[in-house]
Structure 1
Amino acid sequence: MNNIAKERLALGLTQDQLASLFGWRQSRISNYENGSRKPTLSDCRLIVEKLNSLGSNCTLDSIFPPEQEEI
Protein backbone atom coordinates (compact mmCIF):
# COMPACT_ATOMS: atom_id res chain seq x y z
CA MET A 1 0.00 0.00 0.00
CA ASN A 2 1.19 3.53 -0.70
CA ASN A 3 0.44 6.99 0.67
CA ILE A 4 -0.05 8.92 -2.56
CA ALA A 5 -3.68 9.78 -1.76
CA LYS A 6 -2.82 10.98 1.76
CA GLU A 7 -0.18 13.41 0.47
CA ARG A 8 -2.26 14.45 -2.54
CA LEU A 9 -5.25 15.27 -0.32
CA ALA A 10 -3.04 17.14 2.17
CA LEU A 11 -1.98 19.35 -0.75
CA GLY A 12 -5.62 19.85 -1.79
CA LEU A 13 -5.22 18.17 -5.16
CA THR A 14 -7.58 15.91 -7.05
CA GLN A 15 -6.31 12.83 -8.84
CA ASP A 16 -6.89 14.63 -12.12
CA GLN A 17 -4.86 17.65 -11.04
CA LEU A 18 -1.93 15.51 -9.91
CA ALA A 19 -2.05 13.35 -13.02
CA SER A 20 -2.05 16.39 -15.30
CA LEU A 21 1.24 17.56 -13.76
CA PHE A 22 2.84 14.44 -15.24
CA GLY A 23 0.87 14.36 -18.48
CA TRP A 24 -0.88 11.20 -17.24
CA ARG A 25 -4.54 10.27 -17.14
CA GLN A 26 -6.45 10.42 -13.86
CA SER A 27 -6.97 6.66 -14.01
CA ARG A 28 -3.22 6.09 -13.69
CA ILE A 29 -3.10 7.92 -10.35
CA SER A 30 -6.24 6.10 -9.25
CA ASN A 31 -4.71 2.74 -10.12
CA TYR A 32 -1.51 3.61 -8.24
CA GLU A 33 -3.47 4.74 -5.19
CA ASN A 34 -5.70 1.67 -5.02
CA GLY A 35 -2.85 -0.74 -5.73
CA SER A 36 -4.20 -2.21 -8.95
CA ARG A 37 -1.09 -0.92 -10.74
CA LYS A 38 2.41 -0.53 -9.31
CA PRO A 39 4.50 2.44 -10.41
CA THR A 40 8.03 1.89 -11.62
CA LEU A 41 10.86 3.12 -9.40
CA SER A 42 11.32 6.01 -11.82
CA ASP A 43 7.63 6.94 -11.50
CA CYS A 44 7.85 6.66 -7.70
CA ARG A 45 10.74 9.11 -7.69
CA LEU A 46 8.86 11.50 -10.00
CA ILE A 47 5.80 11.40 -7.76
CA VAL A 48 7.82 12.14 -4.61
CA GLU A 49 9.74 14.92 -6.37
CA LYS A 50 6.51 16.54 -7.60
CA LEU A 51 4.77 16.25 -4.22
CA ASN A 52 7.76 17.93 -2.57
CA SER A 53 7.84 20.69 -5.18
CA LEU A 54 4.20 21.39 -4.31
CA GLY A 55 4.95 21.81 -0.62
CA SER A 56 4.99 18.32 0.80
CA ASN A 57 7.90 17.06 2.87
CA CYS A 58 7.95 13.40 1.96
CA THR A 59 10.45 10.70 1.10
CA LEU A 60 10.35 7.67 -1.15
CA ASP A 61 9.84 5.47 1.92
CA SER A 62 7.06 7.64 3.37
CA ILE A 63 5.04 7.51 0.15
CA PHE A 64 5.99 3.97 -0.84
CA PRO A 65 6.74 2.16 2.44
CA PRO A 66 8.83 -0.99 2.13
CA GLU A 67 6.68 -4.10 2.31
CA GLN A 68 6.92 -5.94 5.61
CA GLU A 69 8.09 -9.52 5.44
CA GLU A 70 5.95 -12.05 7.26
CA ILE A 71 7.85 -14.02 9.85
Structure 2
Amino acid sequence: MNLIAEHREKAGIKQKELVVALGWTQARISNYEAGRRIAGLTECRAIVRALNKLGAPCSLDDVFPPEMEESQAA
Protein backbone atom coordinates (compact mmCIF):
# COMPACT_ATOMS: atom_id res chain seq x y z
CA MET A 1 0.00 0.00 0.00
CA ASN A 2 1.07 3.58 -0.53
CA LEU A 3 -0.01 7.12 0.24
CA ILE A 4 0.39 8.64 -3.24
CA ALA A 5 -3.20 9.90 -3.47
CA GLU A 6 -3.17 11.31 0.06
CA HIS A 7 -0.03 13.39 -0.54
CA ARG A 8 -1.17 14.41 -4.01
CA GLU A 9 -4.60 15.53 -2.80
CA LYS A 10 -3.22 17.28 0.29
CA ALA A 11 -1.02 19.39 -1.99
CA GLY A 12 -3.92 20.12 -4.36
CA ILE A 13 -2.33 18.21 -7.23
CA LYS A 14 -4.65 16.64 -9.76
CA GLN A 15 -3.91 13.12 -10.90
CA LYS A 16 -3.56 14.43 -14.48
CA GLU A 17 -0.81 16.83 -13.33
CA LEU A 18 1.13 13.95 -11.80
CA VAL A 19 0.62 11.92 -14.99
CA VAL A 20 2.06 14.74 -17.10
CA ALA A 21 5.00 15.29 -14.72
CA LEU A 22 5.89 11.60 -14.88
CA GLY A 23 5.12 11.02 -18.55
CA TRP A 24 3.12 7.93 -17.65
CA THR A 25 -0.47 6.95 -18.39
CA GLN A 26 -3.36 7.89 -16.14
CA ALA A 27 -4.20 4.19 -15.77
CA ARG A 28 -0.72 3.45 -14.43
CA ILE A 29 -0.93 6.14 -11.74
CA SER A 30 -4.49 5.14 -10.90
CA ASN A 31 -3.42 1.51 -10.48
CA TYR A 32 -0.53 2.51 -8.19
CA GLU A 33 -2.81 4.72 -6.09
CA ALA A 34 -5.46 1.98 -5.79
CA GLY A 35 -2.89 -0.68 -4.92
CA ARG A 36 -3.71 -2.75 -8.00
CA ARG A 37 -0.11 -2.36 -9.13
CA ILE A 38 3.02 -2.20 -6.96
CA ALA A 39 5.69 0.33 -7.85
CA GLY A 40 9.33 -0.72 -7.84
CA LEU A 41 11.99 1.41 -6.19
CA THR A 42 12.75 3.33 -9.39
CA GLU A 43 9.07 4.15 -9.89
CA CYS A 44 8.66 5.10 -6.22
CA ARG A 45 11.54 7.54 -6.45
CA ALA A 46 10.13 9.03 -9.67
CA ILE A 47 6.71 9.51 -8.06
CA VAL A 48 8.20 11.26 -5.02
CA ARG A 49 10.38 13.50 -7.24
CA ALA A 50 7.33 14.44 -9.31
CA LEU A 51 5.23 15.15 -6.21
CA ASN A 52 8.03 17.34 -4.83
CA LYS A 53 8.36 19.18 -8.15
CA LEU A 54 4.61 19.83 -8.14
CA GLY A 55 4.71 21.25 -4.61
CA ALA A 56 4.06 18.29 -2.32
CA PRO A 57 6.76 18.26 0.38
CA CYS A 58 7.20 14.55 1.00
CA SER A 59 9.87 11.87 1.19
CA LEU A 60 10.07 8.30 -0.06
CA ASP A 61 9.17 7.01 3.42
CA ASP A 62 6.21 9.44 3.63
CA VAL A 63 4.64 8.17 0.42
CA PHE A 64 5.74 4.53 0.70
CA PRO A 65 5.91 3.87 4.47
CA PRO A 66 8.18 0.92 5.29
CA GLU A 67 5.87 -0.32 8.06
CA MET A 68 3.01 -0.65 5.57
CA GLU A 69 5.16 -2.85 3.32
CA GLU A 70 6.36 -4.98 6.24
CA SER A 71 2.81 -5.67 7.42
CA GLN A 72 1.80 -6.77 3.90
CA ALA A 73 4.71 -9.24 3.75
CA ALA A 74 3.62 -10.92 6.99
Q: When the two structures are superposed, what TM-score results if normalisation uses the length of structure 2?
A: 0.82
Look up the equivalent residue of 1:68 and give its one-letter code. Answer: E
* Mapped partners of 2:16, 2:50: distance in 1: 14
State, as a whole percentage, how many aligned pairs show the same letter. Answer: 50
- Give the 3-state SS of the residue equivalent to 1:57 in structure 2: coil
Within a 5 Å distance, the mapping from 1:1-71 to structure 2 comes to 1-66=1-66, 67-69=69-71, 70=74
Deviation at 1:47, TM superposition (A): 0.8
Higher relative contact order (CA 8 A, sep 6+): 2
The number of aligned residues is 70
Q: TM-score normalized by structure 1?
A: 0.85
Distance 1:20 1:53 in 2: 12
Higher helix residue share: 2
RMSD: 1.4
